[in-house]
Amino acid sequence: MPALKGVGLLKGLGVTLKTMTRPAATRQYPHVKPDLPARSRGVIALIEENCTVCMLCARECPDWCIYIDSHKEQVAPKEGGRARTRNLLDRFAIDFALCMYCGICVEVCPFDALHWSPEFEYAEHQIEKLTHEMDTLRTWAYSVPAPDPLEEGAIEPKEIESARKAREAVAAKAAAAAEQARAAAPPVPAPAAAATQPAAATTTGAAAGTATTTPTAAAPTPVAGDAAPAASAGAAGAGTTTAAARPADVEVEPGIDQATYDRLLAAGESDRTARAKAKAAYMRRAKAEARAAQAAGATEPAPAPAAPAEAAAPTQVPAGEGAPAAEPASVETPAAATAAPETAPPAPSAVGTPEGAEPAADARDPDARSPEGDPTASGTAAEVVAPGAAAAQADAEHLEIEVDQETYDRLIEAGEPERTARAKAKAAYARKLRAAQRDGGGAGS
C-alpha cells in the first residue's frame, strides 16, 4: 500500500470544487439549438432543377445509397435544328440509413445540384422512413447556408474569380455603353418584343442579385464567401442572359478542324478522340462565325438581345456541345446593353409576367430540364440563379484538356514517369487555357 500522502487527494477535490463554481460547458439542446458551421454535414439537399441525371453521385457513392430514376425525352428541335434527347429526373432518393455522410456526392456533382445543409433533426422510428425522396431533399435546400470565406492566403475559387471578373466586366461595359449612348443619338432599332425580353431577362438576373438574402439564392453558389451576393448575381446574370440568347442558335455544316486534329494526333491522342475534338472545335468556330454574321445582319426578329449576350461573354468558355449555354458569341448592340442595367433594379415584379417567365425557363433549359410540365418552372428569380452558377461551373469543368507538350517534354527529361508527366502536362495545359480564357473574358471581348 503506497503511502496516501493526501496532497494529491486534496488537489483533486480542489479541481472538482473549482469546476462546480463555474458555469457548465453543456448546452440544453432541445431548447438551445447548436450553432452549426456552414460546412456542417447535416443532411444532403437537392436542387433538382440543377440535376442532369449524370449519375456521378450515385456512382461515386461509397455505399450506393443514392437512387436515381430517369427517362429520356426528345426535345423538339428549335428553328430547324436537330432534335436532342435529354434525361429527365423521375426519382432522386437518398437512403440516410445507409449514407455515411462522406460528402463525395456533393463534391462530385458537376452542376451543384447537391449541397450540405446543417439540418440534422430528421431521425425516424422506422429505418425505411430514412429514405428521403426529392421533395424532402428539395425542402432542405432552403436551409443551405452561404459558404464561409476562405482563410487568408487561400487561392480564390474559380467560380468566385470568374463571377468577380464577370461582374467587373459587366460594370465596365455598362459604363462604357452608357457613355456611348449618351454621346450618340439613341437609334432604337430593336422591335418591341425584343425590347421587353431583354428587360425581363435582365430583371431576373438583377432580382437574383437582390434576392441573395433568401436562402435559395444563397444556396447554389458553391464557394462564394463574402463575395456571395455579388457572385450569385454575376453568375445569375450570366446564366439567364446566355439562355435568353440561346434562340439565336444556328446550323452549320459539320466539318473538321484539321489543325486541331493534327495537333491532337501528334500529341498522342487516339484517332477517335482527336477527330471528335477537332470536330467540336470546328463546329464551335463555325457557329460563332455564323452567329456573328447573323447578328451583323440584325434584320430578322431575332430575340437575341445583345445585352445578355454581352453579360454572358466574360464567363464564356468553349464548353463544347455539352453546354450550349455559353455558346453565343458576343455581339455589340449598345442600346440594349444600356437598357439592361438601367431597367434592372426597379423591375423585379416583371419576373412574374409571361415575358419574364419565358426566358427564365429557358435559362434552365440547356443543362437542366424542359420547362414544360415542370411545376418549379415558374421562373422565379431564385431558381434561375442555380443554373447560372451551374453553367459557370460546368464551363470551368468541361474544358477540353490536352497535353502541354512543352511541360511534358520537360518532365520526361526530368525523369518523371510517363504517366505523371502526361498528367502534369495536361494540368499545365488546362491552367494555361483557363488563364487565357479568363484574360480574354476579363478584357471583355
The residues that touch another protein, with contacts defined as CB under 8 A, are: 1-9, 11-17, 19-20, 22, 24-26, 28, 36-41, 60, 62, 100-104, 107, 116, 148-155, 223, 225, 401, 416-417, 419-420, 423, 426-427, 430-431
The C-alpha cell at 352 is 412574374
If the CB atoms of residues 306 and 411 are measured against another protein, the closer one turns out to be: 411
**CB of 437: closest distance to another protein in angstroms?**
15
Phi and psi dihedrals of 43, rounded to 5? -150, 155
Nearer to another protein, 13 or 188 (CB): 13
Q: Which is nearer to another protein, 1 or 192 (CB)?
A: 1
Given the complex with another protein, which of 135 and 148 has the nearer CB atom? 148
Burial class (CB in 10 A: 0-12, 13-18, 19+), 84: middle
Instruction: Please give the full DSSP string across 90-136, using - where no structure is assigned.
Output: EEEEEETTT-----HHHHH-TTS-EEEE-------SSGGGGEE-HHH
- Nearest approach in angstroms of CB 60 to another protein is 7
Q: Smallest distance from the beta carbon of 198 to another protein, in angstroms?
A: 37
For 369-401, b/e burial (b = at least 16 CB within 10 A) is bbbeeeeebebbbbbbbbbbbbbbbbbbebbbe
Our CB check for another protein shows the closer of 25 and 76 to be: 25
**What is the closest distance, in whole angstroms, from the C-beta atom of residue 149 to another protein in the complex?**
4
Nearer Cβ to another protein (12/191): 12
Q: Give the nearest distance from C-beta 84 to another protein in angstroms.
A: 24
- Phi, psi of 202, deg, nearest 5: -70, -35
How far is the C-alpha of 112 from the C-alpha of 106, rounded, in Å?
8
Q: In this complex, which beta carbon is closest to another protein, that of residue 11 or of residue 82? A: 11
**Grid cell at residue 130:** 430514412
Residue (of 385, 430, 376, 380) closest to 403 by Cα position: 430
Taking CA atoms, 268 is separated from 51, 196, 277, in Å, by: 34, 51, 13
Q: How far is the CB of 113 from another protein (least distance, A)?
A: 17
CB neighbour burial string for 110-149, b if at least 16 within 10 angstroms, e if fewer:
bbbbbbbbbbeeeeeeeeeebbbebeebbebbbbbbbbee
Shortest reach from residue 226's CB to another protein, in Å: 8
